Amino acid sequence: MSGITAPAGFILKDAPVTIICPRCQAPVQSVIGRRNGAKAMKAALITSIVFFPLAWVPLCTKSCQDEVHICPQCCHELGRIPA
């Protein structure tokens, strides 16, 4: 799982994980969200060059979005798994 950004010595998975938040210091189970990352932006750019009216499609596709682990207490981003 290369490219994963997380606190040192911690491995993120594609499911919620229990971790101590570095910001609020509370033991929490992460909430998983999705955000557009580099892959979605590149795909949108290529799609806009090929067929402009469909440039928005990669921005709504889950396979192009990064998976983000978020602290439910303080909404701090705990880590990101790139698409």
Give the tens place of pLDDT for each residue, 18-46. Answer: 989 999 999 999 999 999 999 999 999 99
Give pLDDT, residue 54.
Answer: 93
Q: Does the pLDDT of residue 4 top 70, yes or no?
A: no
| Mean pLDDT of the region 8-12 | 66
10 or 52: which leads in pLDDT? 52
Reported as a single tens digit per residue, the pLDDT across 43-82 is 999 999 999 999 999 999 999 999 999 999 999 999 888 8
Tokens 């440039």 found at: 55
Q: How far apart are CA 69 and CA 78, in angstroms?
A: 5
What's the burial of 12, exposed, middle or buried (CB within 10 Å: 0-12/13-18/19+)?
buried
Quick one: CA dihedral 23, 33, 81, 37, positive or negative? Answer: negative
Q: Is pTM, for the whole model, over 0.85?
A: no
